[in-house]
A and B are shown apart, each in its own frame.
Chain A
Amino acid sequence: VPGNTLAGFANKTELRCPGMQMSYTSVEDAELFARRIRTTSLRMIHRAKSSHAGSALSMAELLAVLYGKILRVDPARPDWPERDRFILSKGHACAALYAVLAQRGFFPMEWLETFYQNGGALPGHVTHSGIPGVEVSTGALGHGLGIACGMALAGKRDGRAYRVVALLSDGECDEGSTWEAALFAPHHRLDNLIAIVDYNKIQSLGTVREVLDLEPLAAKWEAFGWTVREIEGHDCKQIESALEILPLVQGKPTCIVAHTIKGKGVSFMENKLLWHYRTPNQEEMAQALAELGEAQ
């Protein structure tokens, strides 16, 4: 299985999506980018024998559109003051973000081989330390949106045009700190702030509905003062049209509730709690890559 060897990563041209250094030109490109994110993440997770495959797969299209089209970032200047800030608040799904950043050229593809490895560059929850393109380290849930509020506030106070995007899990909407930030942003009219909830409906020990029901989720954000749009989180066209012109409403922060499927793209992982934890074995990897249309 290619994912189990260094060779699986070494073929950089195969992993790097055509046109992805800049922005994509067609929806097909975005879908291709999302597929690359999936296969690369799965290879990393398989090689590392790590967890959270389902969480990485559910946000592949969101990341593809953000990093392919929406975010104004420059891999050559990760500290560019005017850059848009992206915060992955669901830090456990970091394999997908590392894959995207490497594909966008923030750091060498080879680094992906060191995910989870002793002495490697990339730990199992997203970290900023020494990794260009990562704004903020997360891993404990409920931290990202508050930091995003601070960055958005700084942008307002400094008169800068950058936007701040925080990608949250549904599970971390259990955290009180998420709602502290949710209360703060509209009060301070942070319309340069965008929260995206990857609403894949499964959290650590069960479905969101079973563990701590969030419904009506969109109405909650609305009641807190956000402009909310619900989208199909695997439909690149819908994601792009939701994020194309921001803010959705002047003077208000934007919340995108993205309905997604945990483990999306691999039939036996879809909607299965097990894939919050389980590492794919060789056979499962082969099947997953085949389903994702990648030659072995």
Chain B
Amino acid sequence: MRSAFFRALSALAERDERVQLIVGDLGFGVVESFAARFPDRFLNAGVAEQNMTAIAAGLALSGKIVFTYSIANFPILRCLEQVRNDVCYHKANVKIVAVGGGLSYGSLGMTHHATEDLAILRALPEMVVVAPGDPREVEAATHALAEHNGPCYLRLGRVGEPDIHREGFTFHLGKAIEVRLGEDLTLISTGGLLETAIKAAEMLSLRGLHTRVLSMHTVKPLDSAAVLSAARDTGAVFTLEEHSITGGLGGAVAEVLAESGEARVLFRRFGLPPSFSATVGDQEYLRMKYGLSADSIADSIESAMERSHMLYRKAGN
């Protein structure tokens, strides 16, 4: 996802002189080519995220389209008040890009686990929150965010994720992408777990549960129409995210469902427990540990569906 982002950013900078990049002294091996190509639109703010964000706001208020870039929580939590006051309140045209969303930097430990970012950023007025599901979504999202005049947060995975979408697929900010058809249940995924969601859906289909998969790359504004039609069409909605179970995609979908009057919908959230991970392990290892492998998700969904059908029958329907 990281290289897809830089590819898109360079293309943007090529045709729009307002595009600027500020990094917080991170991005070894990936920022150099942008810096060499656009030296007067690149800036390393040093290890000073508060200042990086304030500078981004100042540049944006002077007419620039500014991308700030760092890893995991650094460009958002260290400088959250600058994000809220300087960027969001001023509707400054700043795009905050964090590489290493979720447990990408698993083995680096708790400081590098970006597992509450969606919830926190989603709460900020004006902020658009995007967590693309594959490199092609990253590229499309980067272009879309540059066109959106206002604050945005782009949560990237790391490197080496496979392409899920075919070339030339359609991407709109705030519109879920249906990547798999199905009528028995819907699995809504955000961020890098899209590949896992599709694998789980394939397993479920083999067990007779035809699973719709939505890539919900934009967590805010949420595509509530897609959530509601999933609920009406399939009667069962599951969310999947590499993020705390509190307040992220699952929370956003729950809000829509709870207020929709679709009382009969079966709903479960898959995510990380709302606690710090003390386990040492890489992304894949930690995903397994927290039940975020395709196998584990398929099993959990299957038993939830069975339980729900049993209860449904018991109720005399």
Binding partners A and B: yes
Residues of A within 8 A of B (CB): 128-129, 135-140, 142-143, 145-155, 157-158, 176-177, 180-181, 183-184
B97 CB, min distance to chain A CBs, angstroms: 17
Is the CB–CB distance between B61 and A143 below 8 Å?
no
Q: A137-B89, A137-B90 are in contact. Are A146 and B62 (CB under 8 A)?
A: no
User: Can you offer 22 A-B residue contacts whose CB atoms are under 8 A?
Assistant: A137-B85, A137-B89, A137-B90, A140-B85, A143-B85, A143-B86, A145-B54, A146-B50, A147-B57, A150-B54, A150-B56, A150-B59, A150-B60, A151-B58, A151-B61, A154-B63, A177-B50, A180-B50, A181-B51, A183-B46, A184-B51, A184-B55
Q: A136-B90, A154-B64 are in contact. Are A184 and B48 (CB under 8 A)?
A: yes
Is the CB–CB distance between A147 and B62 below 8 Å?
no
* Residue from A146, A180, A183 within 8 A of B58 (CB atoms): A146
* Residue from A155, A157, A184 within 8 A of B45 (CB atoms): A184
Is the CB–CB distance between B81 and A153 below 8 Å?
no
Tell me if B43 counts as interface (CB < 8 A to partner A).
yes
A133 CB, min distance to chain B CBs, angstroms: 14
Residues of chain B within 8 A (CB-CB) of A152 are: 58
Most A CB contacts (10 A, CB to CB) among B48, B57, B62 go to B62
Residues of chain B within 8 A (CB-CB) of A129 are: 89
A181 CB, min distance to chain B CBs, angstroms: 5
Residues of chain B within 8 A (CB-CB) of A150 are: 54-62
Q: How many interface contacts (CB-CB < 8 Å) are there between A and B?
A: 87
Residues of chain A within 8 A (CB-CB) of B81 are: 140, 143
Interface residues on B, range: 20 to 34
Tell me if B82 counts as interface (CB < 8 A to partner A).
yes
Residues of chain B within 8 A (CB-CB) of A155 are: 62
Q: A140-B81, A143-B81, A177-B51 are in contact. Are A135 and B86 (CB under 8 A)?
A: no
B207 CB, min distance to chain A CBs, angstroms: 54
Q: Which residue of B lies closest to A150 (CB)?
A: B58
Q: How far is the CA of A128 from the CA of B40 in the complex (A)?
A: 29
A79 CB, min distance to chain B CBs, angstroms: 11
Chain B residues numbered 69-84 whose CB sits less than 8 Å from any CB in chain A:
81-82
Q: How far is the CA of A208 from the CA of B112 in the complex (A)?
A: 37
Residues of chain A within 8 A (CB-CB) of B61 are: 135-136, 147, 150-151
Is the CB–CB distance between B63 and A146 below 8 Å?
no
Q: A180-B48, A184-B48 are in contact. Are A149 and B58 (CB under 8 A)?
A: yes
Q: Which residue of B lies closest to A162 (CB)?
A: B62
Residues of chain A within 8 A (CB-CB) of B53 are: 146
Q: How far is the CA of A146 from the CA of B61 in the complex (A)?
A: 13
A148 CB, min distance to chain B CBs, angstroms: 6
Residues of chain B within 8 A (CB-CB) of A136 are: 61, 86, 90
Is the CB–CB distance between B86 and A154 below 8 Å?
no
* Residue from B41, B43, B59, B82 within 8 A of A177 (CB atoms): B82
Q: Other than A150-B55, A154-B58, A157-B40, give 11 A-B pairs with Cβ distance below 8 A.
A: A136-B86, A136-B90, A137-B85, A146-B50, A146-B53, A150-B57, A153-B59, A177-B51, A180-B51, A184-B51, A184-B55
Q: Which residue of A lies closest to B58 (CB)?
A: A150
Is the CB–CB distance between B55 and A146 below 8 Å?
yes
Residues of chain A within 8 A (CB-CB) of B55 are: 146-147, 149-150, 153, 184
Q: How far is the CA of A148 from the CA of B86 in the complex (A)?
A: 11
Q: How far is the CA of A171 from the CA of B64 in the complex (A)?
A: 31
Is the CB–CB distance between A154 and B59 below 8 Å?
yes
* Residue from B40, B54, B64 within 8 A of A147 (CB atoms): B54
Q: A137-B90, A140-B81, A143-B81 are in contact. Are A153 and B51 (CB under 8 A)?
A: no
Q: Which residue of B lies closest to A160 (CB)?
A: B62
* Residue from B46, B59, B60, B85 within 8 A of A184 (CB atoms): B46
Is the CB–CB distance between A149 and B51 below 8 Å?
yes
A85 CB, min distance to chain B CBs, angstroms: 9
Going nearest first, the 9 A-B pairs with the smallest beta carbon separation are: A150-B58, A146-B54, A154-B62, A180-B51, A150-B55, A180-B48, A177-B50, A147-B58, A151-B58
A194 CB, min distance to chain B CBs, angstroms: 14
Q: Which residue of A lies closest to B48 (CB)?
A: A180
Residues of chain A within 8 A (CB-CB) of B45 are: 184
Q: How far is the CA of A28 from the CA of B36 in the complex (A)?
A: 54
